[in-house]
Structure 1
């Protein structure tokens, strides 16, 4: 039985809505934090996982992208924001939300690209409030980014919007990755791809029912959550997303956030592999 892991965040719901049924008796699914999934996939405790794109770059020699299902954006993403107490060009300290490694790298890339900044970073623990953190700017993801922020901020960036405007490319936050040593059996990669892609397609068809089920627990209206799924997020890893992913890889490497990575493949592994 293959061990699958997916992020336990709201933006993952459409990708895993029907995945357990597709896995049946040949795969099990675990939901967890992105950092734990990345750690367990690297350690061989998971076989396939939806991991932050920055973690794929850091272990690229051992991993294969196995699906066109992904979490991406082609404009404003709403759930990833950078809030600054000073003009953005004056940021010297940056508090990074501990819930996401890719968004943390994305924020640092954009500050360097747009303003030539390399701020000192400090942690922004998941259970902390913004007013408890001493930093010029704070990266927020998920629930605390989607709800109105408390405090006085000079600038607020939606990082999806900033990235897409600056690069004219989509941004990929996470994708399905498998350990190469676990998918050597003939036909297995194709079976994994079919299950993940089918679950994504069915989840997209169920935006409305997922929104009805999840909205209240997130402090959102059904309409807001449906709009988030349908307009802010994009769930296909197409040619544009791969170009955005490759651009992110190169820019992250240029400021020392990753090293020794290779260009992003232009397509998923061959169905015959």
Structure 2
């Protein structure tokens, strides 16, 4: 039997979800990559299950199913997903989108449309490019590089988790464990839940191990993992997902 191929996000925010995963699933091959690349690999059949952007689940809902209640979500500020604008937000005409992002790329467009009626011209921000070198009015950053202080070029900075939760009064789910329909994922779902629960019990250890790699102090890293992020997919998270799907579909960001 072929190895189970699991794709996990290579950002700090995935650490609690994959805690001890090699021991829990010794026969599996775990691949770490950017969320957008994992989504492509799952769609191409190169992975069996992956932690992918929630927007990608909606784009392929006929083929996919949620396999675990472990997820990456927030119920307020998230810190690692930010819109940086050189002009007042209502004046944004051009927007660069972090190429590592898909859920957040759709989210920022939903928020700009809902709050200011904006539909900016979009440009890519390559993974290895500095946002300070761009000429766009604003830039969306996700992951580790969104968490560090900016250079002072920006008039406004939005935390997209905070903006969504304040507007919708619901949590936001950035990524979920997704697999293909027609496959029995019950055993895997149990293992992923155990990994998440174990990770939650060892947040201080994870912060100590990974803070330096991500340019954070241990206390800031622990705060990020314990206060900014939420790792369980409950009823309110599902309501938030449905609202997000509705608004993104209205903008043509998800095929209806």
Class of the TM-score when normalised by the shorter of the 2 chains: over 0.9
For residue 255 of structure 1, report the CA deviation from its aligned partner: 0.5
Segments ≥4 residues shifted beyond 3 Å? none
Q: Is residue 255 from structure 1 mapped to residue 251 from structure 2 by the alignment? A: yes
Aligned residues: 254
Equivalent residue, structure 2, for 1:66: 67
User: How far apart, in 2, do the equivalents of 1:152 and 1:199 lie?
Assistant: 40
Deviates more, 1:7-16 or 1:135-144: 135-144
| Contact 1:169–1:241 (8 Å) recurs in 2 | yes
Gapped runs of 5+ residues in structure 1?
261-273
Equivalent residue, structure 2, for 1:232: 228
User: How far apart, in 1, do the equivalents of 2:131 and 2:44 lie?
Assistant: 33
- Deviation per CA, 1:127-183: give whole Å up to 9, x if none: 1112211111111112221110113222111000000000000000000000114x1
TM-score by length of 2: 0.97
For residue 71 of structure 1, report the CA deviation from its aligned partner: 0.2
Equivalent residue, structure 1, for 2:149: 148
Gapped runs of 5+ residues in structure 2?
none
| Contact 1:131–1:151 (8 Å) recurs in 2 | no
For residue 99 of structure 1, report the CA deviation from its aligned partner: 1.2
User: How far apart, in 1, do the equivalents of 2:107 and 2:248 lie?
Assistant: 8
User: How far apart, in 2, do the equivalents of 1:123 and 1:212 lie?
Assistant: 34
Match among 3, 9, 17 for residue 7 of structure 1: 9
Match among 178, 190, 193 for residue 189 of structure 2: 193
Equivalent residue, structure 1, for 2:53: 52
| Contact 1:52–1:102 (8 Å) recurs in 2 | yes
| Contact 2:11–2:144 (8 Å) recurs in 1 | no
RMSD of Structure 2 on Structure 1 (CA):
0.9
User: How far apart, in 2, do the equivalents of 1:130 and 1:66 lie?
Assistant: 35
